Structure formats: structure tokens, C-alpha cells
Structure 1
Amino acid sequence: MRVVGSLWRSVRSLPSWLQIVLLGQFVNAAGALAWIYLTLYLVDARHLTSANAGLLSAINGVGLIAGNLFGGGVGDRIGMRRALLAGLLGWAACCAAVPITPVVALGPLLLVAGTLGGVTRPLMSAVVLSALPVDQRRTGAALWRVAFNAGAIIGPPLGALAAGSHFGVIFAVDAASSLILAAVIWRFAPLDSARPSRSSRAGALPLRRTLRGKRFTVAVLVTVVVVDTSYRQLYVGLPLELHRLQAPTLVYGLTVTLNCVLIVLAEVWVALRMARRPPAAVIAAGYALVGTSWLLFGAHPSVPTAIAMVVVISVGEMLYKPTATAAVADAAPPGYEGRYQSLYAGASISGTVLAPAIGGAAFGHHPGLLWLGAAVAPLLAAAALVTVRTARPDAESDYGVVSAPS
């Protein structure tokens, strides 16, 4: 009950417009089905081979990464709200177009769709975090993730039922949920501030120069790439190992659901409890738990240790992900909020590309090699982050230390 009470008080402490936006995010996450079922749709409804379906899905993934990397820069130039609305409306249009597009034109369409879908993540994060004072950003990031994961619990099972009837329903639902979030953003999100003049944009520092002297921020971005690759073995190595153990497919589905449920129930409570801790310590502790989870599983792979691993890795995720998101937001100079969130989004999503390649190759060679690497990499990342923090104890890594709410 204390956890639920903390979650409710945290939501009530936010501005009313942001509460409504988070509700819209929940609806959008519940309807975000197209990318989940894309490969299956291409094989089942479009009768493509698994190789061709995988290629088209990969093209969509390339667009997704590009959108994450460049969306924040677009938002800094034309306004976060304006760019977010364009991304949501464009993604909805692409979703509606997929079922009626000839196969030969699906590649370009999915590339554009992925790019438009990708821009929404850093822009949504920037809209939420830039509207909050520093002492609420960790909680705000946690609540954003809770809204997303709550929707992710509900959406996929409903999507499976819809796919059984007609695959086109999935794309219609995804488009509709994006339009709902766009309507909420348009109606309730604050208007963008005045756009910078051309002369001021010309005199602005290049992004890389704003990072000079921000060793902690750079360390967070680099180590997140490493840890995210390890974390995402949850979606690559774990299902392969459970299949090797001849566990029912349902077992893997339940582990993913368990991860989402734990985040929804406990992430905000964890964020509040960690509010007095320096970001570096919280992030490093999260990294260490991610590594420990794979040590636990690798020592004796089985269904019980898989469940225990998911619990430990979920706690690690709750520690490092919202804290790292807020730390990067705190480091952003005025006018660079979107680009800094794109840097973090690009780093945190990198594992979707690296994890399958590394995990598949390592597992094929020897599963134990994968578990060892997945454990050691986050532990080294934690040590590196602590080293950077210790070397510069008065640096920007102290940002975001606040008094915990009573």
C-alpha cells in the first residue's frame, strides 16, 4: 500500500497538464502494437519469407534509431511540442498506410515510419523533463516509464487477439492511439517558447563543444551503451536459453510481463527513496545489479533462476534508467534540451542493435560466454562511472541531489 500511495502522491504533485499527458502516454503505449507484430504481419499477412520480413523490420529499426538521434535537434530548432506533434501525426499516417501499401514500397514507408516513431521518444522525454524543476525530474522520468510500461502490459495481449481477427486492426489501433496522444499534447502541453532567431542559431555552440568538461555526462552516455546491450539480453539471450531448456514459450512471456509489472508497481517508490543519493551512486548501483542478475542466471540456468534474474535486473533498471535520463537532462544547457535527450535516447536504444548481434554470436559459441560477458560489462561500467565521479567530486555529477519528499 505504501508503494501505491507513493505513486499516487507523485502523480498528484505534478502539474495537471502533465498528469493528463502521462495518461495519454499510457493510452499510446497500450496501442503501440505495429512494431511488436510487424515481422509476424509481414510473414502471415503479406506472405514474405522470414528473411525478407526480417530485412524490412531492420529497415524500420534503422529509422527508429535515426529518429532517436536527430529528433531532439529538430525539437530544439522548431519547438518540442511542435516537433512532437509532427512525429505523432506522421507515425499515425504511416501506420494507416502500411496495410494498403504494395510490398515493393514497404521499405521506404517503414524507414520513414521508423524515423517518425523514433523522434517521439526524446521529444516526449524533453517535454516532460524540461517542464519540471530539477528536484522532480527523477520522479518525472520514473512516472513516464511507469505510464509506458503499464500500457505495455495491456497492449500486446489485446494485440494478439486483434491479430487473430485481422492484422489490419493492429495498425488502425496504433494510429488511433498516436492520434489520441497528439490531441492531448495539442490541447494540454504548454506552447513552445519563441523560436530562436537565425542569428542566434548561427552563434550557438556545436553540440560536442557543450559536452566539454562534462565528464560525468559523457561517462553516463558511454556506459549506458554498454549496460543497455547487457540488459537487452533479456530479449535475446534469455529466450534462447529458455528454448534450449525446453521451457514453454509462456514462461518467457511471463518473465517479460513480470519485468513490466515490477516497474509499474515499484519504480516511482524507488525513485523517491533514492532522491537524496547522488546520481552517480544510484546509476552505478543499477549497473551493478544488472551485472549481478546475469551472474545469478549464468551460474545455474533454469526457470527459477530466470525469474530471480528478472527481479534483480528490474531493480537495477529502476535505479539507473530514470536517474540517468534525469542526469542528462540536468546537464543540458538552455536550448539544447532536445539534443541532450536525443543523445541519451540514442545511447539507451543502441542495445536493440548490438544485443542481437553480440548475444546471438556469443550464445552460438557457448551460452556461458554470453552470461559472463553480460555480467562483467555492467560491473566494469559501474566501476568506470564511480571512478569518474571520484576523480571530480564537485563536478556536474552532483546535479539532481535533492531532499526526499516527506
Structure 2
Amino acid sequence: MEMLRGVPRTVRLLAFGAFFNGVVSFTFVYLFVCLTGPRGLSVAQAGVLTGIGGIGLVAGNFTGGWFGDRYGHRRMLLLGACVSGAVLIALPLLPLAVLYGVLPLAEYATGVVRAANSALVAVSVPEGSRRQSFALTRFAGNGGFTVGPPVGALIAAHYSYDWLFLIDGMGTLLFAGYAARILPARGTAHSRPAQRPGGPGLWSELRARPAVPVLLSAIVCADTVYRQQYSTLPVFLADHGHGTSFYGWLIGLNGAVILCLELPAAHALRKRAPLSIVGTGLLLVGAGYALLGAGAGTVLAVSMMCSLSLGEILYKTPATAYVADQAPVHAQGRFQSLYAGASISGQVLAPPLGGALYSAAPALLWPACAVLACGAGGAVLAARRLGPSPSGSRSRPVLRHPVPRRPDAETGSPGRPPAG
């Protein structure tokens, strides 16, 4: 298939694992319902517990690459998957008080897996050719997540929510076993502990690449705005007479547009400057929310979701690949962790910020979201002047203390894709 040409075998196998993991990832979808239902928590208590878990997830994304750079991304992926799977299996048996400590641990481990998976994709593909590989793994994960929630609903309805945690945990452990097979300990990029080279630290590396901090800040703003669709949007639609089924249909539309168009878009735009694509995508996200300022009619809501979906397609994959292309070899995991943490930050920030603004001034929420997303897009477009794009050519600044490139453990040479 033309769109997958150049995607290494390792990335294709990781994408299959991402699909399977997405199918069994029920916990994220039904945790709140389980806490307020069978567990008997109030909405406020469930919100606090879910929020604590979200903090663990964000922390795992931010730190997983740091550990991977030191101890190996494969090793951290396996450790994170084993910890997450074991905790999920035990979760239905634990008393509520224990969940306040155990749930963040499970979410932290999930974040580590996410960061390690991104780093493994980054080190398996040469610079300038990563967009299609990241698009494939996103496509696979989104595909699995499209299948998983309906299956989870059937399981919960016919059995119990406890089965969801059990299946999620066992599936995560199976994913760890699968990853151990496809990422052999002595044949995968960064499977062994990374050497600790001398040279600039992480903040020095970021200062040498000023467009990267601008992009990361923009992604935090965009993700806070983007994830309003999972928190304040259903409340807004209900307040304007739309039922839950309409909201579910809109979310399904989002998934369908992304599944149909993300891979073709990544292939068609693979030679275009990444920051221009990312900036345009963020502007589309802002434009989508601006439509809601005119009302909550069906046409406006559908147009909003299409604009959000197209914006996501344009900004998420190129932004991930851009950060990977900018990363120095010895800090690839840490750069991926920074992006992974920024790209999930809205899970913690969006509900309280959006909820507070909607409660205080409902009419201001969507204009504020539009301004924030468009401002983020404008900042990314302006950041193009801070340095040339790495797409198609090397553009990293020369470091004052050159870092020796460690041969890639999978190929024996730096920067080359894995054989086969």
C-alpha cells in the first residue's frame, strides 16, 4: 500500500499492538460510571478520584521518556504495561480508600507505556520520514478505541463492570507479552540502557531549538480546548435540547473522519513544512468552536465536529513527528515525553477550567476556546521564523559540545530504519 511505504516492520507491529490495546482499554471510558454506580461514590467524589488518576497519567507521559533514555524504551514499555495490567486486574477487589493511591499508579504506568511507544516509533524511523509511522500508530489506536467502548458496554450490561477491569488488565498483560516478542531485548532500538553522554542537558537542548517550546506550549493550549468535547460539550448540547444519542453520534463522526482521512492526509502532506500544517490544524480547531458561538443547531454542531476532526488530523501527527525530528539522539525519549505530556494535559486541565467558565459565563466558553486555539495556531505559524523546518533536511543547530551518536541497537548504524 502506497501510504504505508517506508513504514518499518517494527512500527507496523507496534501499530497492531496499539490496536489491540485500544480494543481492551475500557477503564478510561467507564471508570466514572463505575465509580458513581456500583462503587456508590457521589459525582464530586468520583470527579476527585478520576482527576487524581488523570494527574498520574500526565506525570507518566512526562517522565516515561526520561526513564527510557536511561534504562531503555523497550524495558520501560514492558514494565509499565505489566504494572498497569496487574493493578487493573486487582482494582475490583480493592477498597475505595486504596483506590486513591492505586489508580494514579495504574494511570502513571499507562502514561509511561504511551511515552515509550512514541519513543520506539521515533527511534525506528529516520528523520524526515516519521509522519506516516506516527499516523499509522494513531490510526491503529483510534481504530481499536472505536471498537472497544461498544464491546465494553455489552460486557458491562450482561455481566458487570468488574469484568471490564479484568479484561483490560489481562489484555494489557498480553500486550506486554506481545511487545516482548516483537521487541527482542538485544535487537531493538534503545532496548539496552542508553549511555550517559556528556553535553547539554534537556533545557539547553530546548533553548537551542526555540520552536519546540513554542509548539509544546501551543499543544497544551490546544489540548485544553480540544478536550472540551468530552466535558463541557455534552452539557452544552443537553442544555440546548440535544439528547445523549446526538452527542454519541457526534463523537462517532469525529472517529470516522479521523479513521478515513488521517493516513491519506499524512501521505499527501508528507513533504510540506510541518509547522505550517500544525498551525493550520490549530486554527481549524479554533474555527470549529467559534461556530458554537452562533448556536447549537444540528448543522452547526456537525460543522464544528468536522472542523475539529480535520484540525486534529492536521496538527497531531505532524507535531509528534516534528518533535521527534528535532530531538537529539541521546534525548529522544525525553522530547517524546514532553510532547506526550503536553498532548494529554487537557485531560486534567479541560474539565475544571471549562466547567468553571461555563458555570460562570456560558456564552463566553466557546469564544474563549476559539481565541485560545487560534492564538496557539498563530504562535506556531510565527515560530517558523525561529529556525528552518527539519522536514526533508537536517536543521538542528550545531551543539557546542558535540554528542557522539551511539549506534542504533537494532540496525548497528545511527538513524536508519530497522531491517525487514
TM, length-normalised to structure 1:
0.92
CA separation in 1, counterparts of 2:138 and 2:375? Answer: 26
Match of 2:78 among 67, 79, 85: 85
CA contact (8 A) 1:99 1:171 kept: yes
CA contact (8 A) 1:217 1:328 kept: yes
CA contact (8 A) 2:74 2:191 kept: no
Deviation per CA, 1:228-248, whole angstroms, max 9, x where unpaired?
Answer: 111111112321111101211
* Residue type at the aligned position of 1:368: A
User: Which residue does 1:172 correspond to in 2?
Assistant: 166
Correspondence 1:148-187 to 2 at 5 A: 148-164=141-157, 165-187=159-181
Correspondence 1:3-152 to 2 at 5 A: 8-11=1-4, 13-152=6-145
CA offset at residue 308 of structure 1? 1.1
* Residue type at the aligned position of 2:132: T
User: Which residue does 2:257 correspond to in 1?
Assistant: 262
User: Which residue does 1:370 correspond to in 2?
Assistant: 365
CA separation in 2, counterparts of 1:112 and 1:134? Answer: 34
Deviation per CA, 1:47-74, whole angstroms, max 9, x where unpaired?
Answer: 2222222222122111111111111101
User: Which residue does 1:5 correspond to in 2?
Assistant: none
CA offset at residue 193 of structure 1? 4.8
User: Which residue does 1:315 correspond to in 2?
Assistant: 310
Change (3 A) 1:383 1:12: closer
User: Is 2:294 the counterpart of 1:299?
Assistant: yes
CA contact (8 A) 2:4 2:132 kept: no
Match of 1:388 among 375, 383, 391: 383
RMSD, matched Cα: 1.6
Change (3 A) 1:193 1:94: closer
CA separation in 1, counterparts of 2:96 and 2:68? Answer: 32
Change (3 A) 1:303 1:400: same
Match of 2:389 among 376, 394, 398: 398
CA separation in 2, counterparts of 1:59 and 1:383? Answer: 33
CA contact (8 A) 1:242 1:302 kept: no
**What are the ranges of 5 or more consecutive residues in structure 1 without an aligned counterpart?**
1-7
CA contact (8 A) 2:128 2:325 kept: no
CA contact (8 A) 1:277 1:401 kept: no
User: Which residue does 2:414 correspond to in 1?
Assistant: none
Deviation per CA, 1:119-162, whole angstroms, max 9, x where unpaired?
Answer: 11111111112101223211111111111111111111111111
Change (3 A) 1:13 1:388: closer
TM, length-normalised to structure 2:
0.89
CA contact (8 A) 2:80 2:110 kept: yes
> How many pairs align?
388
| % same residue | 37
CA separation in 2, counterparts of 1:252 and 1:212? Answer: 43
Deviation per CA, 1:176-235, whole angstroms, max 9, x where unpaired?
Answer: 2212321221111243354245xx35x453211111121111110011111111111111
CA offset at residue 300 of structure 1? 2.5
CA separation in 2, counterparts of 1:289 and 1:256? Answer: 17
User: Which residue does 1:3 correspond to in 2?
Assistant: none
CA separation in 1, counterparts of 2:40 and 2:148? Answer: 25
Q: Secondary structure at the match of 1:134?
A: coil
CA separation in 1, counterparts of 2:232 and 2:32? Answer: 19
CA offset at residue 318 of structure 1? 0.4
CA contact (8 A) 1:98 1:171 kept: yes
User: Which residue does 1:346 correspond to in 2?
Assistant: 341
CA separation in 2, counterparts of 1:157 and 1:235? Answer: 17
Greater helix fraction, Structure 1 or Structure 2:
1
User: Which residue does 2:225 correspond to in 1?
Assistant: 230
User: Which residue does 1:4 correspond to in 2?
Assistant: none
CA offset at residue 304 of structure 1? 2.0
CA contact (8 A) 1:263 1:314 kept: yes
* Residue type at the aligned position of 1:205: P
Change (3 A) 1:175 1:12: farther
Match of 1:288 among 278, 283, 289: 283
* Residue type at the aligned position of 2:74: R
**What are the ranges of 5 or more consecutive residues in structure 2 without an aligned counterpart?**
394-420
CA contact (8 A) 1:226 1:378 kept: yes
CA offset at residue 12 of structure 1? 5.5
* Residue type at the aligned position of 1:362: L
Choose 294-303 or 95-104, whichever is displaced more. Answer: 294-303
